[in-house]
């Protein structure tokens, strides 16, 4: 395929990704984390500076804040849609860099297929529209891997290779400014960078003799046969020789870039306002003393990032999250949550293709020694990066949404294409036909479930309705369907309406006359829209016996609320994917508590 045709096709796929994310930008209502992100973005753009939301890095707030009008809209959803404006273009960029990485490793067809699957996957597309950090960090991860590959293949000598490696560091710095998980992952990325540079076609980072690269394998074999050192020792030596370049041209630019972004974000925040904000955000938390000490000791750029890492460490500890998995809730993360979540929230064709590629890789490694090098060249880097990130997610105590594992997806897609290319190296038509079939089937399933981007569940799970039996992904209750709830209330015939939900868009609820949060079984309402996530969690927490304070707090009121409203219900029926609609018998009016829930214990 000529380069111009490839780039034109890739651009068309990226535009489809943009249009899909733009559609989700307007169809999804405000999700639970976005108000806090947008409040910080508005404070940075039009207020006292970055003085809140230290749990999340600054980059998405900078992007969102640049698009917020000076006057805050009366309706929260309008603020949300304005802040989301740049996010669809990030998703477009993700499709582009995934396609280019796939092309670099496994050819034109693989690149186009990987980009098409990124654009097609509903879960990726839905999250690509939100003011969130997950697709943002995914874009910079993949872009950094692409420039790393260019560094390993650079034909302009050591200087050109180091330029590409420096670009990798800058992009990785943007990734660290996007999501805190990228910070510890820098060590993993640097290790894989050493290995990739040592395996580069020219070996320029690991040998003084530049022209030795192409013949290295043959000489290593000859050395081994003649009683010299094994090839693995040569590779280990070359990897260690690449370490200084990785540290100087990747790690240092990454950290400098992070510092500059942090400094830009906090430039308009006074020292006094910053310290007061840290004290307020960390009040009565175990990390309070350490965070306040950081704010007093270090520059704002460093202190804010360090405080954010402390905050994440605290809120991701055992007992801090309600991890729902196969009908049970736990204070500790389930190691298989994220593989299962990806297995039911990516399209069926994509899941089966990934599993098939894993089987292919194992067969090639065991039975086809001549193709091991082809497999390694095509697939090992994306497989290692995606697999390592997925393993890190599995070790976490946070099972609150498949979004935390999304950075692994583009890498695994490219690795799967690379494994297929290695298997069908001599049958290019069969390889292209297989890729086309996967893309066609994935696109068909995505179109069949159109409008359910975040609630998406594939045919293996039975669609969105089958998801709660497996995992109660809090994304499904992020509020993205509240627009449908408000539209239903406007139609009438529901009487007095209450909500029981993790998040309520108060401006939207007031506009249609919703009474408030129904937090009591005898709330004076005729109809309740009850969050499916809270409904399932109520049943699971009732069986749980863990003594975590937040679990004791939740057991104290949520099961009683569910049972009380269920006993009043004339009917319980699904409403969309995220809500249950309960029509209730009338009781003596009790005092309702609009938009309030029992306060959790510290």
Beta-carbon contacts of 512 under 8 Å, excluding residues fewer than 6 positions away, are 486, 489, 490
pLDDT single digits (tens) 85-124: 999 999 999 999 999 999 999 999 999 999 999 999 999 9
- The residue ranking higher by pLDDT, 372 or 356, is 356
CA-based nearest residue to 582, from 520, 517, 506, 526: 526
Average pLDDT over all residues of the chain:
90
Q: How far is CA 284 from the centre of its chain?
A: 29
Tokens of 541: 């927490």
Q: Per residue in 199-231, pLDDT tens?
A: 875 455 554 433 333 344 444 444 444 444 566
Residue of 438, 247, 220 whose CA lies nearest to 347: 438
- pLDDT tens by residue, 492-503: 999 999 999 988
Which pLDDT score, from 0 to 100, does residue 514 have?
A: 94
Q: Check pLDDT > 70 for residue 138.
A: yes
DSSP three-state, residue 492: coil
Rounded Cα gap, residues 181 and 186, in angstroms: 9
**Secondary structure, 3-state, 166-204:** HHHHHHHHHHHCCCCCHHHHHHHHHHHHHHHHHCCCCCC
Average pLDDT over residues 365-382: 87
Q: pTM of the prediction?
A: 0.92
**Rounded to whole angstroms, how far apart are CA atoms 318 and 111?**
40
DSSP string, 108-143: HHHHHHHHHHHHH-HHHHHHTTSS-SHHHHHHHHHH
Q: What is the pLDDT of residue 246?
A: 93
Domain spans, the chain: 143-267, 268-315, 481-584
* Assigned token pair, 247: 């540290």
Amino acid 596: pLDDT: 55
Give the contacts of 340 (CB within 8 A, at least 6 positions apart). Answer: 325, 470, 471
What's residue 191's pLDDT? 95
pLDDT 10s digits, 306-327: 999 999 988 888 999 999 999 9
């Amino acid at each position: 395929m000529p380069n111009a045709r490839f780039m034109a096709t890739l651009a068309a796929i990226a535009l489809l990704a943009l249009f899909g994310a733009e559609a989700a930008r307007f169809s999804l209502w405000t999700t639970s984390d976005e108000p806090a992100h947008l409040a910080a973005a508005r404070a940075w753009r039009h207020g006292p500076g970055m003085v809140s939301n230290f749990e999340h890095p600054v980059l998405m707030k900078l992007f969102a804040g640049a698009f917020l009008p000076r006057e805050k809209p009366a309706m929260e959803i309008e603020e949300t849609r304005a802040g989301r404006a740049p996010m669809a273009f990030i998703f477009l960029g993700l499709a582009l860099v995934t396609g280019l990485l796939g092309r670099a490793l496994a050819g034109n067809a693989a690149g186009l297929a990987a980009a098409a699957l990124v654009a097609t996957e509903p879960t990726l597309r839905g999250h690509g529209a939100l003011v969130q950090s997950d697709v943002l960090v995914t874009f910079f991860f993949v872009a950094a891997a692409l420039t790393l590959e260019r560094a390993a293949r650079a034909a302009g000598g050591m200087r050109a290779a180091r330029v590409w490696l420096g670009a990798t560091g800058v992009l990785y710095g943007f990734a660290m400014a996007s999501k805190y998980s990228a910070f510890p992952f820098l060590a993993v990325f640097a290790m894989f960078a050493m290995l990739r540079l040592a395996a580069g076609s020219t070996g320029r980072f690991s040998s003084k003799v530049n022209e030795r690269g192409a013949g290295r394998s043959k000489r290593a074999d000859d050395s081994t046969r003649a009683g010299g050192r094994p090839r693995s020792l040569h590779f280990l030596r070359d990897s260690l020789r690449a370490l200084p370049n990785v540290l100087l041209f990747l790690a240092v630019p990454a950290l400098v870039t992070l510092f500059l972004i942090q400094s830009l974000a906090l430039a308009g925040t006074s020292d006094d306002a910053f310290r007061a904000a840290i004290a307020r955000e960390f009040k009565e938390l175990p990390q309070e003393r350490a965070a306040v000490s950081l704010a007093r000791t270090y520059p704002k750029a460093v202190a804010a990032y360090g405080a954010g890492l402390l905050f994440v460490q605290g809120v991701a500890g055992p007992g801090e999250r309600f991890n729902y998995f196969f009908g049970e809730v736990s204070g500790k993360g389930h190691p298989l949550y994220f593989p299962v979540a990806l297995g039911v929230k990516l399209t069926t064709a994509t899941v089966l293709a990934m599993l098939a590629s894993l089987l292919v890789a194992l067969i090639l490694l065991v039975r086809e020694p001549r193709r091991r090098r082809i497999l390694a060249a095509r697939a090992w880097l994306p497989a290692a990066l995606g697999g390592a990130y997925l393993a890190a997610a599995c070790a976490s105590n946070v099972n609150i949404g498949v979004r935390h594992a999304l950075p692994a997806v583009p890498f695994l897609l490219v690795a799967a294409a690379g494994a297929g290319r290695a298997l069908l190296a001599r049958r290019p038509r069969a390889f292209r036909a297989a890729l086309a079939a996967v893309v066609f089937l994935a696109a068909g399933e995505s179109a069949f479930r159109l409008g359910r981007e975040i609630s998406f569940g594939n045919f293996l799970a039975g669609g969105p309705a089958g998801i709660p039996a497996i995992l109660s992904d809090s994304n499904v209750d992020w509020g993205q369907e509240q627009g449908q709830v408000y539209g239903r209330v406007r139609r009438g015939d529901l009487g007095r309406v209450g909500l029981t939900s993790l998040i309520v868009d108060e401006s939207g609820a007031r506009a249609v006359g919703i009474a408030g949060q129904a937090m009591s079984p005898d709330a004076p309402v005729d109809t309740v829209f009850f969050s499916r996530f809270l409904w399932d969690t109520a049943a699971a927490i009732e069986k749980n016996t863990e003594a975590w304070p937040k679990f004791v707090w939740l057991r104290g009121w949520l099961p009683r609320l569910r049972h009380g409203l269920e006993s009043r219900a004339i009917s319980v029926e699904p409403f969309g994917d995220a809500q249950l609609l309960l029509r209730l018998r009338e009781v003596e009016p009790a005092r309702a508590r609009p938009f309030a829930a029992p306060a959790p214990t510290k």
